[in-house]
């Protein structure tokens, strides 16, 4: 192969590489198909046409090779490179590739709109949806960018936190638990504790970032649905003793001579089902938007009365003359240490 042919192939390879390297950056391309006879009217194009059809060059250009016609600088700073190629039908195509220039000119030439200005991203929000004595529900709202609308769309995650109470009821000796039956006049005991439980109730799984501070209850009471008047004077609502960390037990009864930690029933109470309400208060959930929100929770406990403590009296011999019933015995009641 002649040196001319090597040179021609090398030049074509360079042009192909230049074209491939510029395609990614081309902001404008154009092509124009002309007949061979039209090339004769332009001195430079005729010269290029003759070169492409000259002897050993013809085969290469008939196979699709392009001939570089040169480059020019444009007023906007861009560069235009021109090439010519031909097909087997004798048609010649002149192509131009323009690169560089200002962004304004590139956008205009490519007929592409400018990228929209993205609006500022809204700040995340914590929205309190509902709250009551022992439950708070809130939404944590974040924002994701939506390119088609060029806007930020809200994405919600919903959470709930509950103050949950557990409590137990016992007889005065602590032998019966939650299935308690005692005789009228005797006492009962209660204890219990509270804790916070949080869960996500809506939205894709995500840990909460609200950062609410939790304070467990610091006070507790027990309230009876009956009055105690005959054996001792006892209020219907009594304070419980705090053991810390949201836990409580029955406190000393102020009406007890021995300081018993019980809640008394009345000697005259009839057989039946009775209840007490254990309530824990002064719990707090604190944080932005919510502030210091006080919470409380309660639990109702049931027990049964059957019979009277009088049935547990014992008797001692006495002078029959002092016995109104003339039985020889005088009934003596006792309190089993509860009074």
Task: Tell me, yes or no, whether 46 and 164 share the same domain.
Answer: no
pLDDT of 38 strictly over 70:
yes
Task: Tell me, yes or no, whether 172 and 97 share the same domain.
Answer: no
Task: Tell me, yes or no, whether 185 and 295 share the same domain.
Answer: yes
Phi/psi for 57 (5° steps) reads -80, -30
The residue out of 110, 137, 168 marking a domain boundary is 110
pTM over 0.75: no
Residue 121 lies in a domain: no
256 and 232 in contact (C-beta within 8 Å)?
Answer: yes
The pLDDT value recorded for residue 113 is 65
Task: Tell me, yes or no, whether 169 and 95 share the same domain.
Answer: no
The pLDDT value recorded for residue 103 is 55
Q: What is the mean pLDDT of the chain?
A: 81
More confident site: 54 or 320: 54
Closest by Cα among 201, 220, 331, 231 to 282: 220
Q: Across residues 41-49, what is the average pLDDT? A: 77
Q: Across residues 49-54, what is the average pLDDT? A: 77
Which residue's entry shows tokens 């861009």? 78
The pLDDT value recorded for residue 305 is 97
Query: Coil, helix or strand for 161?
Result: strand
Closest by Cα among 228, 249, 215, 222 to 309: 228
Which of 1-10, 21-30, 249-258 ranks highest by mean pLDDT? 249-258
Task: Tell me, yes or no, whether 188 and 284 share the same domain.
Answer: yes
How far apart are alpha carbons 313 and 33 in whole angstroms? 126
Task: Tell me, yes or no, whether 106 and 165 share the same domain.
Answer: no
Task: Tell me, yes or no, whether 86 and 204 share the same domain.
Answer: no
Which pLDDT tens digit goes with each residue over 320-338? 334 443 333 334 344 444 4
The percentage of residues in the chain with a pLDDT greater than 70, rounded to a whole number, is 80
Least confident of 150-154, 175-179, 314-318: 314-318
- The H-or-E segment that residue 55 falls in is helix 55-62
The residue out of 52, 83, 110 marking a domain boundary is 110
The pLDDT value recorded for residue 108 is 57
Residue 325 lies in a domain: no
Q: Across residues 105-133, what is the average pLDDT? A: 81
Give the domain extent around 246. 160-308
Number of structural domains found in the chain: 2
Residue 289 lies in a domain: yes
Interhelix angle 55-62/3-23, nearest 10 degrees: 30
Task: Tell me, yes or no, whether 92 and 223 share the same domain.
Answer: no
Q: Across residues 9-29, what is the average pLDDT? A: 46
How far apart are alpha carbons 213 and 83 in whole angstroms? 74
Residue 140 lies in a domain: no
pLDDT-based confidence at 104, cuts 50/70/90? low
The percentage of residues in the chain with a pLDDT greater than 90, rounded to a whole number, is 50
Query: Which CATH number do you get for residue 279?
Result: 2.60.40
Residue 314 lies in a domain: no
Residue 240 lies in a domain: yes
Task: Tell me, yes or no, whether 240 and 298 share the same domain.
Answer: yes
The pLDDT value recorded for residue 102 is 61
Task: Tell me, yes or no, whether 105 and 14 share the same domain.
Answer: yes
pLDDT of 48 strictly over 90:
no
Q: How many CA atoms lie within 13 A of 82 on its CB side?
A: 13
Residue 256 lies in a domain: yes
Task: Tell me, yes or no, whether 274 and 199 share the same domain.
Answer: yes
pLDDT of 10 strictly over 70:
no
pLDDT of 157 strictly over 80:
yes
Residue 145 lies in a domain: no
pLDDT-based confidence at 271, cuts 50/70/90? very high
Q: Across residues 102-107, what is the average pLDDT? A: 56
More confident site: 87 or 122: 122
Closest by Cα among 155, 177, 121 to 302: 177
204, with CB counted inside 10 A (0-12, 13-18, 19+), is exposed
Which pLDDT tens digit goes with each residue over 273-296? 999 999 999 999 998 888 999 999
Task: Tell me, yes or no, whether 177 and 299 share the same domain.
Answer: yes
The pLDDT value recorded for residue 160 is 97
């Amino acid at each position: 192969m002649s040196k001319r042919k090597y040179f021609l192939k090398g030049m074509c390879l360079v042009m192909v590489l230049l074209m491939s390297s510029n395609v990614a950056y081309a902001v404008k391309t154009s092509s124009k198909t002309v007949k061979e006879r039209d090339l004769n009217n332009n001195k430079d194009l005729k010269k290029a046409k003759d070169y492409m059809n000259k002897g050993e060059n013809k085969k290469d250009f008939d196979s699709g090779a392009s001939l570089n016609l040169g480059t020019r600088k444009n007023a906007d700073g861009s560069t235009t490179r021109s090439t010519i190629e031909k097909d087997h039908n004798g048609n010649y195509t002149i192509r131009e590739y323009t690169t560089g220039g200002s962004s304004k000119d590139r956008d205009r030439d490519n007929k592409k709109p400018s990228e929209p200005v993205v609006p500022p991203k809204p700040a995340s929000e914590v929205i309190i949806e509902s709250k009551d004595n022992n439950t708070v529900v809130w939404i944590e709202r974040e924002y994701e960018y939506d390119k088609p609308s060029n806007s930020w769309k809200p994405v919600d995650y919903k959470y709930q936190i509950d103050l949950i109470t557990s409590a137990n009821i016992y007889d005065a000796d602590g032998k019966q638990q939650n299935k308690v039956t005692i005789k009228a006049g005797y006492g009962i005991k209660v204890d219990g504790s509270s804790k916070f439980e949080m869960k996500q109730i809506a939205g894709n799984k995500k840990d909460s970032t609200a950062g609410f501070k939790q304070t467990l209850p610091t006070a507790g009471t027990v309230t009876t649905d009956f009055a105690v008047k005959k054996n001792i004077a006892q209020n219907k609502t009594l304070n419980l003793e705090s053991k810390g960390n949201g836990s409580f037990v029955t406190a000393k009864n102020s009406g007890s001579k021995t300081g018993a930690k019980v809640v008394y029933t009345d000697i005259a109470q009839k057989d039946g089902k009775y209840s007490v309400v254990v309530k824990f208060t002064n719990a707090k959930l604190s944080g932005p938007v919510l502030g210091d929100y006080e919470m409380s929770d309660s639990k109702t406990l049931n027990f049964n009365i059957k019979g009277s403590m009088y049935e547990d009296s014992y008797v001692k011999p006495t002078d029959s003359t002092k016995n109104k019933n003339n039985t020889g015995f005088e009934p003596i009641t006792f309190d089993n240490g509860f009074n």
